Amino acid sequence: MICNGIKDAEFIRLAMLSRKLGFNTVIVLESPREVETVIAVARELDMEPMLGVRVKLTHRISGNWAESSGDRSTFGMNTDQLVAVIDRLRAEGMLHCLMLQHSHLGSQVPDVNDIRKAVSEACRYFTELTGEGAPLSHLDLGGGMGVDYTGEKKANENSINYTLEEYCTNIVEMVGYAMDEAGVAHPVLTTESGRAVSATSSMLLFNVLEATLYDAPTAPAAEPGDHHTLSDLIAVGGYVTPKRLQECWNDATFYRDELRALFRRGQIDLRQMARAERVYLNLMARIRTLAGDSDEDSDVAAALAAEADIYSCNFSLFQSLPDVWAIDQIHPIAPLQMLDRMPERRAILSDITCDSDGKVDRFILGDGVSPSLPVHALPEDRPYYLGVFFVGAYQETLGDLHNLFGDTNVATIRLRGDGGFDLLHEQEGDTIEEVLTYVEYDPADCVAAFRKLVDEAISNGRLTAGERRGLMRAYRDSIEGYTYYE
Ligand SMILES: Cc1ncc(COP(=O)(O)O)c(C=O)c1O
């Protein structure tokens, strides 16, 4: 058991005493200050600890977590501090307790050559510390093995340019050469990879509640009395041809914006404005059909991509996909049904927190990152589910209660060899009552306050006794229910 991070005396005492229970607990020294606490507790308990030392590597990795590596990373000791710690342990007669070197390389390291360079630096410290008389037997390289979220196999923020096998081979090779060169025995290698181990263990499923479609199947015809700008907009429909797509898009957008300005000034009425919006959406749909995939790089293609449908989905980005919001993490997302049919629409996904940030509008597709996701038109007779993959690393624990959406329902399953699965455990998500309690409201007080309102309405003759019962039941059912759409 390896104890990293800043530790107080109580923690260190427990860590040392745990050895009496048979745990091989290594206390990793994070700072010169911590050494003093360890020495004091060791004296107090009259015990010898198993110690590690966290060395700050200077090699800086690339990617989203570059700051967790290099000189300015927040944990571990620099060379000067390390030497001071060695001298202090030697003076205290405890240098022989130092058996592990910890060097965390960073997180989600995109480039395997960064791993090589960092490991090579870690080995230099290891052989030097050994030379100083520390009987190091373990080299702990921390976390950092990345996940290929996009499948691109490239060294960028959402992908990695190596496999698990390469990661292992490179580390073992680098360490082997470095130790042989220095004549030091090969250490036991430890890693603490979290993300790579857990990301694939979870997926988030949610249903789409409704769609805001950015097209109109038919365009209304011109009517006598239409404002001439509306007639101009309708006339654009007469020249939607492959060669004039950009022109059509320019004209349609210009007239639509003019009509909006006229509406704001009271020069056209609500019904003309509604028809104008429908004409515009219909024109966009026709332009989209003609543009197809061929115009992928044009202004029109970019504009059309920005006009994808909005699918409102039953989840909270802040609770279940916080990295998407915080660091633009891309997770693979795909429909889970109708996979034998080509998805005919494109959409972005909005959550139900009613926060404009609560949306996903970057998706990984076969040919790179796209601002919209291919989806099917929503079926009328059954729910439509989407799955977000690789959410097992951090997402649930980082998630917050923004707008009071709580933990989701969780099902734990085990995949069987025959392709089926066994349901191992079901855990119901938070209820509204529970979430209210987390933010210091007492649900009983809420019920009492509501009952008071209801009773007042009865006294004023606005409510009957039967309605009272129904209303109280609805209130109770609501706060005892799930925080998501049921
Ligand atoms: C010391 C240490 N070990 C392990 C990890 C896990 O890293 P990862 O999930 O990138 O493998 C971290 C994460 O930052 C860390 O700080």
Q: List the CATH number of the domain containing 41.
A: 3.20.20.10
pLDDT tens digits for range 301-342? 777 777 899 999 999 999 999 999 999 999 999 999 999 999
Closest-CA residue, ligand 1 atom 4, reads 143
Tokens 């790089």 belong to which residue?
297
First vs last C-alpha separation in the chain: 43
- Which pLDDT band holds residue 299 (cuts at 50, 70, 90)? confident
How much is the pTM? 0.88
Question: Which residues pair with residue 58 across a beta bridge?
Answer: none
Q: Residue range 285-313: average pLDDT?
A: 78
Same domain, 37 and 174: yes
The pLDDT of residue 295 is above 70: no
pLDDT tens digits for range 420-436? 999 999 999 999 999 99
| pLDDT value of position 302 | 73
Of 303, 336, 360, the one marking the end of a domain is 303
pLDDT tens digits for range 5-58? 999 999 999 999 999 999 999 999 999 999 999 999 999 999 999 999 999 998
Over the chain, what is the mean pLDDT? 93
Structure letter (DSSP) for residue 49: P
Question: Which residues, 6+ apart, have CB-to-CB distance to 224 below 8 Å?
Answer: none
Same domain, 101 and 125: yes
φ, ψ of residue 337 in degrees (nearest 5): -140, 175
Closest-CA residue, ligand 1 atom 15, reads 143
Where does 74-197 show beta strands of DSSP type E? 98-102, 138-140, 188-190
Same domain, 255 and 378: no
- Which pLDDT band holds residue 68 (cuts at 50, 70, 90)? low
What distance in angstroms lies between residue 104's CA and the mean position of ligand 1's atoms?
Answer: 7
Long-range interactions of 360-369: CB distance < 8 A, separation 24+: 360/317, 360/321, 360/324, 360/333, 362/328, 362/330, 363/330, 363/333, 364/149, 364/150, 364/151, 364/152, 364/158, 364/330, 364/332, 368/152, 369/150, 369/330
What distance in angstroms lies between residue 327's CA and the mean position of ligand 1's atoms?
Answer: 17
Same domain, 299 and 382: no
The pLDDT of residue 185 is above 90: yes
Same domain, 90 and 17: yes
The pLDDT of residue 465 is above 60: yes
Query: Among 147, 149, 192, 198, which residue has the most ligand 1 atoms within 8 Å of its CB, making it the best to mutate?
Result: 192
| pLDDT value of position 293 | 52
Residue predicted with more confidence, 90 or 68? 90
Residue 420 lies in a domain: no
Could you tell me if 56 and 78 are in contact, meaning their C-beta atoms sit under 8 angstroms apart?
Answer: yes
| pLDDT value of position 303 | 76
| pLDDT value of position 290 | 86
| pLDDT value of position 417 | 96
CA gyration radius, the chain = 31
* CATH classification of the domain holding 398: 2.40.37.10
Write out the residue range of the structural domain in which residue 288 sits. 228-303
Ligand 1: lining residues by beta carbon, under 6 Å: 4, 68, 104, 107-108, 142-145, 192-196
Distance CA 132, CA 110 (A): 34
Q: Residue range 442-468: average pLDDT?
A: 96
| pLDDT value of position 175 | 98
| pLDDT value of position 273 | 97
Q: Could you please report the per-residue DSSP string of 92-122?
A: TT-GGGEEEEE----SSB--HHHHHHHHHHH
Residue 385 lies in a domain: yes
Residue 410 lies in a domain: no
| pLDDT value of position 62 | 74
Closest-CA residue, ligand 1 atom 14, reads 107
The pLDDT of residue 294 is above 70: no
Same domain, 9 and 145: yes
Residue 77 lies in a domain: yes
Cα–Cα distances (Å) from 163 to 65, 114, 145, 200, 366, in that order, read: 19, 14, 9, 15, 19
pLDDT tens digits for range 209-246? 999 998 888 999 999 999 999 999 999 999 999 899 99
Same domain, 207 and 188: no
Closest-CA residue, ligand 1 atom 7, reads 143
Same domain, 8 and 76: yes
In the structure encoding, which two tokens stand for residue 66, read together? 């570059």
Strands 26-29 and 2-3: parallel
* Atom in ligand 1 nearest the alpha carbon of residue 102: 1
Nearest CA among 101, 167, 170 for reference residue 138: 101
Of 303, 327, 361, the one marking the end of a domain is 303
Closest-CA residue, ligand 1 atom 12, reads 143
Residue 412 lies in a domain: no
Same domain, 247 and 323: no
* Atom in ligand 1 nearest the alpha carbon of residue 108: 10
* Atom in ligand 1 nearest the alpha carbon of residue 142: 3
What distance in angstroms lies between residue 214's CA and the mean position of ligand 1's atoms?
Answer: 43
pLDDT tens digits for range 383-420? 999 999 999 998 988 999 999 999 999 999 999 999 99
* Atom in ligand 1 nearest the alpha carbon of residue 5: 1
Q: Say if residue 106 is exposed, middle or buried (CB neighbours under 10 Å; 0-12, 13-18, 19+).
A: buried
What distance in angstroms lies between residue 355's CA and the mean position of ligand 1's atoms?
Answer: 31
Same domain, 52 and 159: yes
Of 303, 335, 366, the one marking the end of a domain is 303
Q: Could you please report the per-residue DSSP string of 387-451?
A: EE----SSHHHH---GGG--PPPEEEEEE-TTS-EEEEEEE---BHHHHHHHTT--HHHHHHHHH
| pLDDT value of position 105 | 86
How many domains, the chain? 4
Residue 425 lies in a domain: no
What distance in angstroms lies between residue 392's CA and the mean position of ligand 1's atoms?
Answer: 14
* CATH classification of the domain holding 256: 1.20.58
Residue 172 lies in a domain: yes
Closest-CA residue, ligand 1 atom 5, reads 143
Distance CA 351, CA 323 (A): 14
Same domain, 291 and 315: no
The pLDDT of residue 298 is above 90: no
Residue 376 lies in a domain: yes
Closest-CA residue, ligand 1 atom 6, reads 143
The pLDDT of residue 204 is above 70: yes
Distance CA 16, CA 25 (A): 7
The pLDDT of residue 289 is above 90: no
* Atom in ligand 1 nearest the alpha carbon of residue 4: 1
| pLDDT value of position 69 | 67
Same domain, 55 and 190: yes
